[in-house]
Structure 1
Amino acid sequence: MPDISDDIAIARFVDRWRRNEGGAERANYVLFLMELCDLLGLDRPNPADATHDRNDYVFERAVTFRDGVDRTGHGRIDLYKRGCFVLEAKQSREPGGAKEVALGATQATLPGFDMAARGRRSAHRGWDVLMRNAREQAEQYARALPESHGWPPFILVVDVGHAIEVFADFSGQGKNYRQFPDRGGYRIFLDDLHQPQVRDRLRDIWRDPHALDPAKRAAAVTRDIAKRLASVNKLLEDRGHRPEPVAHFLMRCLFTMFAEDTGLLAAGCFTRLLDEARAAPDRFAPLLEGLWMEMNRGGFSHVLHCPIRRFNGGLFAAAHVIPLHREEIGELYEAARHVWTEVEPAIFGTLLEQALDPGERRRLGAHYTPRAYVERLVVATVIAPLQREWEAVVLGTVERERTADPAAAIRAVHDFHEKLAGTVVLDPACGTGNFLYVALELMKRLEGDVLEVLADLGGQEALALETASVHPRNFCGIEVNPRAAAIAELVLWLGYLQWQMRNGGAIADPVLETLHTIHVGDAVLAHDPPAADGSLPRPRRPDWPAADYIVGNPPFIGGKDIRGRLGEAYATALWKAHPKVNKSADYVMYWWDRAAERLTEPDTRLKRFGFVTTNSITQEFSRRVIARRMAAAKPVSLVMAIPDHPWTKATRDAAAVRIAMSVAEAGTGEGVALEVRSERGLDTDAPEIVFATREGRVNADLGVGVDVTAAEPLRANAWLCSPGIKLHGAGFVLTETALAAATTHADTLPLPVSNYLKGKALTGIRQRNYAIDLTDHEEAEARRRWPGLYQHLLRSVKAARVAQAARAPTKDALDYVARWWQFGKPRPELRAALTGLARYIGTVETAKHRVFCFIDAGILPDNMITCIASDRPFHLGILSSRISLEWTYANSGLIGVARFEQGHRYTKSNIFDPFPFPDASESGRQAIGMLAEELDETRETVLSEHPDLTLTVLYNLRAAIGRGEALTPAEEDQRRRGRVDIIAELHDRIDAAVADTYGWPVDLPAEEIVARLVALNAERRAEERRGTVRWLRPAYQIARAGLTALPAAAAEGQQIEAALQAIVRKPRFPRDAVGQTAAVFAELRAGKPLDAETIARGFAQGRKIERRVAATLEALARLGHVTREGGGYRLRRAA
């Protein structure tokens, strides 16, 4: 459709609808919007479909939303365009002339609130309430849209014939719709349609709304500037300049560029200085040094020949200028030519740090966090609670107005603004300040809404009372890197000044205040000066500034890497300072635990905290930190959690890092867990992520529903699962050719070598490798009997271990040096468990597809293979079933899209050890075992006949077929040769047989499977406390436990009662009545009827407490909590 948006058409449109203001909304809004579409050259909305499935651009789009706990409501969106906007139309009753009142431009303004820029507004309070209510209604409709539609980026509120108000939220969360593009321009009056940029903005809202996302253009501009600064920095480094003076010099340069583009300096003055200096480089240093000295003190500038403001703030206290060559000045000139008002502070700090750090420069622009990801956590942690409080205030003001108490309404809004202006946000690992900046901008946007309402209520008189505002002083940080801390301060000021300039806010002198809100130091460890031996005396936790909210992204260092990355002395001191955090927890958990402690302290002002963490937070060691805080006497609860989320921008050179997010409050409230359902554009500055949301009690594993963390290890599974050999020296592994070259005629036969299987080889191309295994041999013996192999290890292993110990002299590293000719972790427990077996079960620790298979017992497994010391096909079948797979997913913390696109990790402690194998009949064991044996033989036959095929290929094809994808001819050939359909059928048969053995339907939903397994785990643990263990390998495990010999009649899996006191200390029965009741409840949760004698045997006092247990059972029966069944008691089932 042609664009007819010329002045005549616009004038006719404006005149036609202005004359019809005050008409009937329902009669006019459809015609008004269709004519607006014609005016802008846009397609008109489509006819509505009866089923709503295809109603993606229609009037009166029906939605259903929750209305209370158990009721639903229905509504209709006036105009909806999927992926673009929700539009709510109203038509006020006031005639145009009375409604349009110009606000006095000479009136005093509050910093950040430009009355003149607001244009015309209503002289009637009823109009403002009408528009505010329409906006709230539109947001409710957006919440009610189908989950598959996602959140529209725009909310439009139309007063037919008068104005269009525009609100945007590009984060995809729907929690932070704010005036767009700013407070001065979000309200489009009909006369504004004469402006081409306004018409273009409306077209983009209809056609390509994300093109309006300022983060997109800002990110591109910011990257180019950072690359030019990096180029200058490198040239100066190559000339011998020290990094810190160069960094501060460049930061002064970039702020001067910013100042000339935002009106703080004369427009283009610095760019002209640079342009002139390209022709005469010798003039560059004295001119710029003079300018910076003048900027520091303010007054008349002899360099610019005009008065300039006083900047101060420490940045220009040192005006030292590094003389530059023509090429370097040229790079600064090109950077200055950019529009600095478009720089994105949310990523600028990260890119600047990369530009100034030689070690990080290679990653410049390829490894940073898109703003949308940062905003997701900041909104959940800081903005959401403030927004809820503000919404309550707004509702209250409407009620006070209704009761004719406008003064009380003004006081309520004023009080909230005072509170907002005093809100302090802390990032205790602030880096270059991206989280603090995003928090600042979003709080300024909220402040804009507050001041808008205040002006609506009391006009200039009410605004004149507001003296405080959200300011960089509200944002505190702790950062160990001094340069990053300096950049963080700069980023906050850039963001604040950008906001003030865009919104007509006043900026007082000095432009840059000295605030000292960014503290340089370690946030989790303080200590006295290092001792002579390198240790860190008197380790303790540092104090953190008081704050209302804590948000941040602490360093990503795994628990096992802390000692190696940070040093023995630091790790030891850290553990002493945080005795309640287990030593295997990830480094980020020290921040998490400290924040949780602050959250639950008496009289704390902290209301909520949120952190980005490694996604291994859902695994055992880090998860324990959360679980302990959630179960404490003063607990915390998770109000928002995302267990798996992309973090850094993905490029060809840098894969997307995966993280988790968690937000906590004090108490035991419920929250929401977000599961990633789809991801697009991870290599762009505006990635699109679709979530499924679940509300309820969020567990320590960051999931809602069944709490898999409640499952605990079973003795029945003990001593069977272990990772394979950990070499700590690549020289131990040799190919057949390399082995022949390493041996000599003097090496005694047989050689101490074993077949060695790497993790990648188990699911990938099978390669024959050998490992030199001197586990049972002393150094002198090895040197004497196998001199060739010994010399090979001497050259390839010993030197590397000695060097590693010198870099990080940990206990393990020193032990590896002392036993340098042996594997680092030879796994004696695994070797003992495999003794006497002809084969065992193995699976790759981290894999896309969870595949278990038999491995010959003569093969040494790599550390990346998780081994189960069983040769029984029944166990292979259970582990290969869907029931086992759903348990693995639930306990590995990878859900949603990650199941299919990310590798997940199979761990002994939280997946195998607590997994309750079924109590199968002999016929059930045989049926499952036969299917598992056939599955394993089929795969091995395929791999031996077709060396180009791998388990990964076979299971990729199986997954593709299951999703109904079309295969290429090459894939069809692989499918045929790989017997993929037979493998899939065998898995289906195994799934059915295993489900039957558990006594469950084969098509149970994943959550139900996990819930039943958790319940079965609780039942088995209760049995084990009473002395009944369903051993997987009774002969080995009972002997390993040091118990009495296995009765001759006992069979595998049979209930075997043993004197477990030899290895287990039973809990004591509590003394108080409340504790006794809780203990009896816990025993009854096993699900089977229990009598007093059986329960008493599970406690240390045994039969001495039987009468007390019986009395407790009787009391519970009288109260209706338990029912008698047979000779015992069972918990009453809920209806």
Structure 2
Amino acid sequence: MARLSLKSVEERVAPLAGRDTYDREFVFDLLLAYGKPQGNVTRLRNGSLNVAVDPTTEVAQKNVVYFKETAGDPLEVAEELKTTPAVVRFSTRFMIVTDYVDVVAHDTKTNETIGFPIREIDQHFTFFLPWAGMEKAQYAAESHADVKAAERMGKLFDELLHANPGIFDDAQGRHSLNIFFTRLLFCFFAEDTGIFDHNQFTNAVGSQTQSDGSDLAEFLTDLFKALDTADPADKPTHLADFPYVNGRLFTVTDEQVVPRFTKQARDELIASGTLIWRDINPDIFGSMFQAIVTPGKRSDLGQHYTSVPNILKTIEPLFLDDLKEEINEAQDSERRLVRLLDRIAAIKVFDPACGSGNFLVIAYKELRKLEHAILERLAELSPSHQTLWTDSRINIENFYGIEIDDFAVEVAILSLWIAKHQMNAEFRAKFGVPIPLIPLKETGQIKAGNATRVDWNEVCPNDGETEIYLIGNPPYVGSSMQTKEQKGEFKSVLGERPFSPNLDYISLWFVKGADYIRDTQAQLAFVTTNSVSQGDHVGLMFPTVLSDDIEIGFAHTSFKWENNAKRNAGVTVAVINLRNFSMSEKYIFTDGLQIKASNINGYLADGPNVFIARRSLPLGTRLPRMVRGSQPSDDGHLIMDAAERAEILSNSPEAARYVKQYVGSSEFINDGERYCFWIEPDEAAQVMSIRGIASRLNRVAEFRSSPDRNDKATKDLAAKPWQFKQPAYKATDSIIVPRVSSERRDYMPMGYLGPDTVISDAAFAVYDAEPWLFALLTSRMHMAWTRAVGGKMKTDFRYSNTIVYNNFPVPPLSDKTKEKLTVAALRVLDVREYHCEQTLAELYDPDKMPQDLRDAHAEIDALVDSIYSKKPYETDEQRLSDLFAMYERMTAEEAAKAPAKKTRRTAK
């Protein structure tokens, strides 16, 4: 079924607004408006698909909606419903409560809640767009307190550095200051959450130290010692009410120095204490605070933390979805539910690049939520169970990490403690059983070290049987940006296995991860730069990773990694799972869809494990040759804009025969106007007599012969200043293919150019090209191939003749088929000409594309699809599956023919 556009959804929701009365049918009409299948909605209406606890007042569909009608306050009912076991175990995306006057809706994925009069549903239709496959760009509404707290602590950090010159300059001093701030963070959180008495820490500082800060260092030294002392009798009287914390957080050592305070520093500390720390998000705050204390990172405050929804993209398909399914299936069996508790309690989660621990924190919280859901159901089945619950079985000691930054290690441990306390509060609210956080019994399994050098089995032993999940967001560093030390780590990880110097640094985590999980129950899922699954990099990394029965179990294709920080990173990433070969189903997540796959290859497509390498000629010789456009290497002196051209021709009209239009990707797509000199070898002598040209050629010669130039090929061309360094132009009609094109476009703008146009090296060219090729290259089929195997510049398409074009599998084309393709191609070109007042950038903007042009392209799509398959394609993933299968077959045939040719030559 075709996916709905934003405008289509808006039009379908509009009739639901402004009705005189509303009833239960509202939820069914709403689901249909967002494109949910009629059959599913009918089954939901008649009850066969309804999994609600109370079908008389509720309608629930797994992964979709939990709808409840009420005579009470919708907001109060919604708050109660949020944490009910049914909503948790059915992975409900939207929870809706209404009294048919007002509506309260909650998005469980983004944690957003809205309320509005039901008659105004049309004004809030964008809230439910994920039902139509359109995810929200910013998923989570993280508390602003996180940013404010980090900014406030940053001011305190700066003031202490100013007040203590030189003390914290070396590594040990900086570590000491980092530990000090970790302790402050705990104290601020503790006094707002019941671990300490309310405001106990801030009030003590304010009432027991001098206003100028002169005695604050001494006071804090005594306080930290008191927090590490179990017996109140052994503490100073004024500190005896502070509890014993343990957990090594406040252990006093000679190396740890409490800094000297000024009046301003004391004021900043007290101001920090007045913030509300109760609802601080440990998953984001750790990353923000790490930026505060890391030199050069302050401007990136919050920029590179991973938002909760993006972490869930990693851990939900890795293990959470499976656990929720099992909980759902075990709802009526005490024995199975207890066994599930045993399983969850034994799970180990390991992040070998954990930073401040946000992945571990979210994994811990989600497992605690599942534990709570199981316990609630057990209480419903047998109230006697509840008397046995005195603590959670989800132990922080089962959460492992490696992090190279020693301060991040401390923050990660602290973040897990904070997360534990927050979940303990939820436990108490649900079951009435308090679980005190202190004295801390768990010290955590976060280790400081370089994950590429550390033996992961020494950090988190993998016995082969334990359920271990590796998660995280390892560092991305392109090959040209890696330090000498990082380059050396490749040999350490790969040993005798061959590897390319062009590998991204994150490859080391995939290689070590595959080695770690091989022949065990462990799996991994990493957030990674999407470039590892595109272009050349696939063939460089995945042959090593996908070996010895390691496979990709699921993958999220490219998406923008966004969060609500002040400066959003906007990186484009993918999520890739690795596991040992399994009969379990495989899924590709793309554009809000979950698609079942038979095999997921390194391009994150459903197809065989093939690796597309550069080719000098097209596969199967069914396509004409494509070349890169002409490269001048001229310092701009062979190239002219319109004004320069006009001036030259005004002074030297005879130069006109040597001037041609010069077109690259930008000029072609945006109707830019540039020109170049194109001079054949036998014309060089006479051209030098034309003043308007000769002066520019002399400057080209000077540029190419510069003493600073190391490029011998360019230097040798100084004697031929009229010649392009790479002269690809031919005086024929040509097809131009941009090297880079916006990822927003459904089609990459390509086109025909006349014989007097030189295509620049910012585009590719096919000379003597026939129209049928234009149709083939502008088809949805070729676009799907480009998206899969081509490189990306951020998310924009980066085309390549040697990777994309030369490897594009094309079946044999009859003259009749080529004739049909030609007719379809000319139709597209005619429609473009009709809209000639618009640029290609405007014509191919998906929000502005004229319907007749879209229809013309649809004709090409249908025709090209029919060449590859007798059945219509529903998704690009189906197209790719056939393309990769054809590629595998054609390359195998090519390889089989090669030895035969050699044999015949030898016989001759």
| Other-structure match for 1:671 | 585
| Other-structure match for 1:265 | 196
Candidates 15, 37, 46, aligned match of 2:22: 46
Deviation at 1:229, TM superposition (A): 1.4
Alignment of 1:144-223 (within 5 A): 150-152=64-66, 166=80, 168=82, 207-210=104-107, 219-223=143-147
Work out the CA distance in 1 between the residues paired with 2:20 and 2:214: 63
Is 1:657 aligned to residue 551 of structure 2? no
| Other-structure match for 2:507 | 589
Work out the CA distance in 2 between the residues paired with 1:586 and 1:430: 19
Alignment of 1:1076-1095 (within 5 A): none
Is 1:647 aligned to residue 612 of structure 2? no
| Other-structure match for 2:737 | 842
Which sections of structure 2, spanning at least 5 residues, go unmatched? 1-18, 114-138, 429-433, 648-654, 680-694
Deviation at 1:332, TM superposition (A): 3.1
Candidates 290, 294, 308, aligned match of 1:357: 294
Deviation at 1:433, TM superposition (A): 0.5
Q: Retained in 2: the 8 A contact 1:153–1:210?
A: no
| Other-structure match for 2:440 | 511
From the superposition, tell whether residues 447 and 930 of structure 1 become closer, same or farther in structure 2 (CA, over 3 Å).
Answer: closer
From the superposition, tell whether residues 863 and 218 of structure 1 become closer, same or farther in structure 2 (CA, over 3 Å).
Answer: same
Work out the CA distance in 2 between the residues paired with 1:329 and 1:171: 46
Deviation at 1:721, TM superposition (A): 4.2
| Other-structure match for 1:613 | 528
Q: Retained in 1: the 8 A contact 2:474–2:527?
A: no
Which has more radius of gyration?
1
| Other-structure match for 1:877 | 775
Candidates 490, 493, 499, aligned match of 1:577: 493
| Other-structure match for 1:554 | 473
From the superposition, tell whether residues 263 and 52 of structure 1 become closer, same or farther in structure 2 (CA, over 3 Å).
Answer: closer
Alignment of 1:955-966 (within 5 A): 955-956=844-845, 960-962=849-851
Deviation at 1:845, TM superposition (A): 2.8
Q: Secondary structure at the match of 2:411?
A: helix
Q: Secondary structure at the match of 1:207?
A: strand
Q: Retained in 2: the 8 A contact 1:549–1:608?
A: yes
Deviation at 1:850, TM superposition (A): 0.4
Q: Secondary structure at the match of 1:270?
A: helix
Candidates 518, 525, 537, aligned match of 1:600: 518
From the superposition, tell whether residues 613 and 906 of structure 1 become closer, same or farther in structure 2 (CA, over 3 Å).
Answer: same
Work out the CA distance in 2 between the residues paired with 1:822 and 1:460: 90
Work out the CA distance in 2 between the residues paired with 1:697 and 1:878: 27
Q: Retained in 2: the 8 A contact 1:418–1:468?
A: no
Deviation at 1:284, TM superposition (A): 2.7
Deviation at 1:952, TM superposition (A): 0.7
Aligned length: 801
Is 1:952 aligned to residue 811 of structure 2? no
Q: Retained in 1: the 8 A contact 2:717–2:725?
A: no
Deviation at 1:296, TM superposition (A): 2.4
Q: Retained in 1: the 8 A contact 2:412–2:446?
A: yes
From the superposition, tell whether residues 716 and 421 of structure 1 become closer, same or farther in structure 2 (CA, over 3 Å).
Answer: same
Deviation at 1:867, TM superposition (A): 4.4
- Cα distance per residue 1:8-56 (max 9 Å; x no partner): xxxxxxxxxxxxxxxxxxxxxxxxxxxxxxxxxxx99933559943579
Q: Secondary structure at the match of 1:644?
A: strand
Work out the CA distance in 1 between the residues paired with 2:765 and 2:276: 59
Q: Secondary structure at the match of 1:551?
A: strand
Q: Secondary structure at the match of 1:297?
A: coil
Q: Which amino acid aligns with 1:520?
A: A
Alignment of 1:744-763 (within 5 A): 759-763=665-669
Q: Secondary structure at the match of 2:850?
A: helix
Per mean C-alpha deviation after superposition, the further-off stretch among 433-442 and 657-666 is: 657-666
From the superposition, tell whether residues 172 and 522 of structure 1 become closer, same or farther in structure 2 (CA, over 3 Å).
Answer: farther
Per mean C-alpha deviation after superposition, the further-off stretch among 763-772 and 474-483 is: 763-772
From the superposition, tell whether residues 931 and 1101 of structure 1 become closer, same or farther in structure 2 (CA, over 3 Å).
Answer: closer
Q: Which amino acid aligns with 1:906?
A: Y
From the superposition, tell whether residues 788 and 370 of structure 1 become closer, same or farther in structure 2 (CA, over 3 Å).
Answer: same
| Other-structure match for 1:281 | 213
Is 1:523 aligned to residue 455 of structure 2? no
From the superposition, tell whether residues 757 and 381 of structure 1 become closer, same or farther in structure 2 (CA, over 3 Å).
Answer: same
| Other-structure match for 1:39 | none
Tell me: higher relative CO, structure 1 or 2? Use CA pairs within 8 A at least 6 residues apart.
2
User: What is the root-mean-square deviation of aligned Cα atoms in Å?
Assistant: 5.8
Q: Retained in 2: the 8 A contact 1:846–1:905?
A: yes
Candidates 584, 601, 606, aligned match of 1:700: 601
From the superposition, tell whether residues 554 and 369 of structure 1 become closer, same or farther in structure 2 (CA, over 3 Å).
Answer: closer
Work out the CA distance in 2 between the residues paired with 1:857 and 1:172: 68
Deviation at 1:321, TM superposition (A): 2.6
- Cα distance per residue 1:348-380 (max 9 Å; x no partner): 111112222342222324553321221232222
Q: Secondary structure at the match of 2:570?
A: coil
Deviation at 1:766, TM superposition (A): 1.5
- Cα distance per residue 1:548-601 (max 9 Å; x no partner): 33333334536xx22x22134532541563236655444333322332333223
Deviation at 1:290, TM superposition (A): 1.9
From the superposition, tell whether residues 554 and 908 of structure 1 become closer, same or farther in structure 2 (CA, over 3 Å).
Answer: farther
| Other-structure match for 1:20 | none
Deviation at 1:307, TM superposition (A): 4.8
- Cα distance per residue 1:475-521 (max 9 Å; x no partner): 11111222222221221122123323443443475427544x21222
Give the % identical residues: 18
Q: Retained in 2: the 8 A contact 1:476–1:545?
A: yes
- Cα distance per residue 1:575-631 (max 9 Å; x no partner): 563236655444333322332333223xx3x43221112223432444447864797
Q: Which amino acid aligns with 1:226?
A: A
| Other-structure match for 2:369 | 445
Work out the CA distance in 1 between the residues paired with 2:257 and 2:98: 44
Q: Retained in 1: the 8 A contact 2:640–2:675?
A: yes
Q: Retained in 1: the 8 A contact 2:632–2:726?
A: no
Work out the CA distance in 1 between the residues paired with 2:567 and 2:789: 31
Work out the CA distance in 2 between the residues paired with 1:645 and 1:459: 46
Normalised TM-score (structure 2): 0.71
From the superposition, tell whether residues 326 and 168 of structure 1 become closer, same or farther in structure 2 (CA, over 3 Å).
Answer: same
Alignment of 1:749-788 (within 5 A): 759-768=665-674, 788=699
Work out the CA distance in 2 between the residues paired with 1:786 and 1:62: 67
Deviation at 1:345, TM superposition (A): 0.9
Q: Retained in 2: the 8 A contact 1:366–1:651?
A: yes
Work out the CA distance in 2 between the residues paired with 1:936 and 1:62: 37
From the superposition, tell whether residues 569 and 1008 of structure 1 become closer, same or farther in structure 2 (CA, over 3 Å).
Answer: closer
Q: Which amino acid aligns with 2:528?
A: T
Alignment of 1:363-512 (within 5 A): 363-388=300-325, 397-398=333-334, 409=335, 416-452=340-376, 469-504=393-428, 505-507=434-436, 510-511=439-440
Candidates 201, 224, 227, aligned match of 1:292: 224
Q: Secondary structure at the match of 1:209?
A: strand
| Other-structure match for 1:714 | 619
Q: Retained in 2: the 8 A contact 1:221–1:343?
A: yes
Work out the CA distance in 2 between the residues paired with 1:301 and 1:439: 40
Q: Secondary structure at the match of 1:550?
A: strand
From the superposition, tell whether residues 707 and 727 of structure 1 become closer, same or farther in structure 2 (CA, over 3 Å).
Answer: farther
From the superposition, tell whether residues 294 and 991 of structure 1 become closer, same or farther in structure 2 (CA, over 3 Å).
Answer: closer
Alignment of 1:768-917 (within 5 A): 768=674, 788-789=699-700, 831=726, 839=734, 841-847=736-742, 848=745, 849-854=747-752, 865-868=763-766, 871-889=769-787, 891=789, 903-908=796-801, 911-917=804-810
Q: Secondary structure at the match of 1:591?
A: helix
Q: Which amino acid aligns with 1:762?
A: F
From the superposition, tell whether residues 513 and 599 of structure 1 become closer, same or farther in structure 2 (CA, over 3 Å).
Answer: closer
Q: Retained in 2: the 8 A contact 1:701–1:893?
A: no
- Cα distance per residue 1:397-451 (max 9 Å; x no partner): 45xxxxxxxxxx4xx7666544433322110111110001111112222233444
Alignment of 1:91-106 (within 5 A): none
From the superposition, tell whether residues 816 and 893 of structure 1 become closer, same or farther in structure 2 (CA, over 3 Å).
Answer: closer
